[in-house]
């Protein structure tokens, strides 16, 4: 085989220097999970829901695509998510997203930290708060209400067996009703489940989340 000329070597080096470096998120929107799941298809209702997401958000969240292999599981996930995160509650949408990120930080769930960290940044209009929540919610200058809420959610995540009346009383003193306490626990439980499924499947968040609300 003939040796490459110095000119060819210089041209190759120049092309390499001008080529954009590979991004750590390259492929995340194509290879969503690390499992080879059977091909399925969302129902007409779920296809319409996907179209609504695409219209409102500009993309379909990868978690929905991941669940689409089994329409029954997809519909159950969507119904539970929408009820817990979007339905009327004594908790604001931002408060529910704060819980999602605080729980996901304990579980080190890449998907949920990226997706819901972006939601915290957008809803709070405070990009630094989103970063603080991902790293350590205790470093954030939170209100007494929010600190009590997140302390409860994190304890329920890491030591669920140790929950007692004092924990519920602390939430009541911070202004939460008993229904609110139920909702805090429900959101906490949902994200503990979601974190584990996402981590088990190596679920990748949509790359667009990384740049949102910065």
For residue range 157-173, what is the model confidence (pLDDT) as tens digits? 999 999 999 999 999 99
The CATH superfamily holding the domain 44-84 is: AhpD-like (1.20.5.810)
The CATH superfamily holding the domain 92-211 is: AhpD-like (1.20.1290.10)
CA pair distance 169, 167, nearest whole angstrom: 5
CA pair distance 5, 197, nearest whole angstrom: 53
Per the prediction, the chain carries an average pLDDT of 92
Q: Which token pair is 2?
A: 């003939």
> Which residue in this structure is represented by tokens 């009590």?
148
- Give the pLDDT score at 39: 77
The one-character DSSP state at 3 is P
Q: DSSP alpha helices (H): ranges in 90-212?
A: 93-107, 110-124, 127-135, 144-158, 165-173, 178-200
> Which residue in this structure is represented by tokens 């179209």?
51
Q: Could you tell me the residue ranges of all domains in the chain? A: 44-84, 92-211
- Cβ contact 61:53 at 8 Å: yes
68-92 pLDDT tens trace: 999 999 999 999 999 999 999 999 9
Categorize the per-residue pLDDT at 24 as very low, low, confident or very high, splitting at 50, 70 and 90: confident
Q: Which of 41, 214, 4, 3 is nearest to 114 (CA)?
A: 214
Q: Which token pair is 63?
A: 């978690």
91-126 pLDDT tens trace: 999 999 999 999 999 999 999 999 999 999 999 999
CA 117 to chain centroid: 7
Whether the domain at 44-84 and the domain at 92-211 fall into the same CATH topology: no
CA pair distance 200, 193, nearest whole angstrom: 11
């Amino acid at each position: 085989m003939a040796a490459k000329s110095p000119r060819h070597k210089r041209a190759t080096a120049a092309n390499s220097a001008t080529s954009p470096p590979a991004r750590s998120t390259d492929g995340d929107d194509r290879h969503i999970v690390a499992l080879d799941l059977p091909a399925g298809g969302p129902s007409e209702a779920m296809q319409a829901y996907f179209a609504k997401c695409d219209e409102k958000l500009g993309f379909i969240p990868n978690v929905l695509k991941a669940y689409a292999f089994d329409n029954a599981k997809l519909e159950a996930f969507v119904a539970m998510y929408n009820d817990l995160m979007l339905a009327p509650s004594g908790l604001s949408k931002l408060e529910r997203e704060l819980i999602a990120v605080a729980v996901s930080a304990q579980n080190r769930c890449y998907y949920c930290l990226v997706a819901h960290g972006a939601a915290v940044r957008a809803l709070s209009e405070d990009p630094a708060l989103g970063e603080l929540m991902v790293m350590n919610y205790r470093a954030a200058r939170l209100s007494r209400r929010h600190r009590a809420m997140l302390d409860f959610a994190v304890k329920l995540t890491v030591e669920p067996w140790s929950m007692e009346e004092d924990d519920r009383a602390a939430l009541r003193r911070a202004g939460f009703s008993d229904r609110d306490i139920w909702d805090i626990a429900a959101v906490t439980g949902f994200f503990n489940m979601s974190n584990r499924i996402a981590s088990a499947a190596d679920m990748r968040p949509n790359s667009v989340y990384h740049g949102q609300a910065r």
